[in-house]
């Protein structure tokens, strides 16, 4: 926990500050940390005590009960988070821009979704990063736009970003990810149950025997190793989803240029600090450039797979994302051209 706090502090007040993104005061940071700690302690306490009770109550089939409990708990959290948890940290206000609201409603309706409310949130109190997302189970959505996004993007670009999010919804990316996570969780619980019963876990760290809690600790170490293997596959799938959502947004808005320029702005305003793993930098940089290429190609009515005139591209957009400038796989923080953290976040239930 101390490590997490130190890293968080360094990230907010050293790294973010250095590149001009931090707008947070010490007081707000401290209040966020205290609230965050209380909320996580409460949720984690509920989750852990529920799981332990199930392990004792059903020693032969706890993997199934714990899995069901975790699945229901996470669905419940997704449902209540926009109403109970997010307002603890952010202030939600009506958008107050009827014209933009109308355009957003129109684009959502074109895709078969209904808009219940459009909110803006005071993200600028914390940083200059921008984002947009929608929440809501079913076809009725509640849209949230960061005030930073409203400041940095034009109306066309905001509509394009939301169309991209609609793309994730329509292509069922959110649903597929939820199902995948639940299947992985089930697999992990079955494996945990089997490993604990077989008694092999203490031997892995040179012990002859270990308590239930010691074995759970060993399992958490194994889970981190498994995560290391799964994460590049997950990233590859995410990248594929991003392409699909972009294609969908181009078709829905018929305004590929707005999507391309929104992506460039988002990648500039939402830099990520990259730690070198599996050439992440290459993948993300390439993705932003390809999105713009795809958008531009569609705009010209060209075939997606056909060659793209990079000179024409760069003459209309900043050179920073020109394909070829970003082809190297490199790590580190570089203002000017930075990978996007995702063009917005779809929370419906919540996922990027
Ligand atoms: Zn996306």
Per-residue burial over 239-267, b if 16 or more Cβ lie within 10 Å, else e, is: eebbebbbbbbbebbebbbbbbbbbbbbb
Mean pLDDT within 28-41: 91
**Which tops the pLDDT comparison, 149 or 128?**
149
In the chain, domain spans: 1-89, 166-351
Distance 156 CA to ligand 1 centre (A): 17
pLDDT band at 40 (very low <50, low <70, confident <90, very high): very high
| CA distances from residue 202 to 188, 226, 232 in whole angstroms, order as listed | 18, 18, 29
Select the more confidently predicted residue: 266 or 276.
266
**Band (93; pLDDT cuts 50, 70, 90):** very high
Q: Identify the pLDDT of residue 62.
A: 95
Q: Indicate if the pLDDT at residue 192 is higher than 60.
A: yes
Question: pLDDT, tens digit, for every residue of 245-262?
Answer: 999 999 999 888 899 888
Least confidently predicted of 65-69, 226-230, 336-340? 336-340
pLDDT of residue 331: 28
Per-residue pLDDT of 274-296, as tens digits, reads 433 333 334 445 555 665 565 55
- Is the pLDDT confidence value at 328 over 50? no
Q: Cα(345) to centroid of ligand 1, in Å?
A: 7
Going from the Cα of 245 to the center of ligand 1, the distance in angstroms, rounded, reads 6
CA distance 265 to 20: 15
Q: What are phi and psi of 270, to 5 degrees?
A: -130, 60
Residue 165 is a catalytic residue: yes
The CA 263 to ligand 1 mean position distance, Å, reads 10
Question: Model-level pTM?
Answer: 0.71
Range in 194-198, 280-284, 299-303 the model is least confident about: 280-284
> What's the pLDDT score for residue 69?
97
pLDDT at 266: 83
Q: How far is the CA of 239 from the centre of ligand 1 (A)?
A: 9
Mean pLDDT is highest, among 54-68, 197-211, 261-275, for 54-68
pLDDT higher than 60, residue 152: yes
Model pLDDT, residue 332: 28
Cβ-contact 21, 128 below 8 angstroms:
yes
Give pLDDT, residue 271: 63
Give residue 301's pLDDT. Answer: 52
Output the CA 47–ligand 1 centroid distance in Å.
30
Query: By the 8 A CB rule, do 250 and 302 touch?
Result: no
Mean pLDDT of 206-235: 89
Pick from 224-228, 251-255, 266-270: least confident:
266-270
CA of 153 to the centre of ligand 1 (A): 17
**Ligand 1 center to residue 342 CA distance, Å?**
5
Q: What is the mean pLDDT of the chain?
A: 78
Distance CA 270, CA 290 (A): 18
Asked if residue 305 has pLDDT above 60, the reply is no
Q: Among the options 165, 242, 255, 293, which is catalytic?
A: 165
> Of 16, 157, 242, 246, which one is the catalytic site residue?
246
Mean pLDDT of 265-282: 54
Question: What are 195-203's contacts with CB under 8 Å, separation 24+?
Answer: 195/219
Q: State residue 320's pLDDT score.
A: 34
pLDDT computed for residue 272 by the predictor: 56
């Amino acid at each position: 926990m101390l490590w997490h706090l130190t890293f968080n502090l360094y990230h907010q007040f050293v790294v973010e500050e250095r590149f001009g993104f931090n707008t947070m005061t010490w007081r707000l940071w401290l209040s966020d940390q205290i609230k965050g700690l209380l909320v996580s302690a409460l949720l984690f306490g509920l989750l852990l005590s529920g799981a332990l009770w199930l392990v004792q109550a059903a020693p032969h089939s706890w993997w199934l009960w714990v899995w069901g409990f975790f699945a229901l708990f996470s669905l419940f959290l997704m449902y209540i988070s926009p109403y109970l948890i997010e307002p603890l940290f952010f202030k939600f206000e009506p958008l107050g821009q009827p014209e933009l609201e109308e355009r957003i409603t129109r684009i959502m309706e074109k895709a078969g979704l209904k808009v219940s409310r459009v909110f803006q949130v005071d993200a600028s109190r914390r940083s200059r990063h921008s984002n947009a997302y929608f929440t809501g189970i079913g076809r009725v959505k509640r849209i949230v736009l960061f005030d930073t996004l409203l400041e940095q993007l034009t109306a066309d670009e905001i509509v394009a970003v939301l169309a991209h999010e609609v793309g994730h919804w329509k292509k069922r990316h959110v649903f597929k990810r939820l199902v995948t996570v639940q299947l992985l969780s089930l697999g992990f619980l079955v494996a945990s149950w089997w490993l604990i019963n077989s008694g092999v876990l203490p031997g892995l760290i040179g012990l002859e025997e270990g308590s239930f809690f010691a074995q759970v600790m060993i399992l958490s170490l194994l889970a981190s190793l498994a995560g290391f293997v799964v994460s590049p596959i997950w990233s590859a799938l995410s990248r594929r989803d991003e392409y699909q959502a972009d294609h969908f947004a181009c078709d829905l808005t018929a305004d590929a240029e707005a999507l391309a320029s929104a992506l460039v702005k988002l990648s500039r305003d939402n830099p990520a600090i990259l730690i070198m793993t599996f050439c992440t930098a290459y993948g993300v940089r390439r993705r932003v450039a390809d999105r713009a290429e795809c958008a531009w190609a569609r705009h010209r009515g060209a075939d997606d797979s056909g060659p793209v005139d990079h000179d024409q591209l760069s003459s209309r957009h900043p050179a920073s994302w020109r394909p070829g400038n970003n082809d190297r796989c490199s790590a580190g923080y570089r203002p000017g051209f930075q990978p996007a953290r995702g063009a917005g976040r779809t929370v419906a239930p919540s996922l990027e």
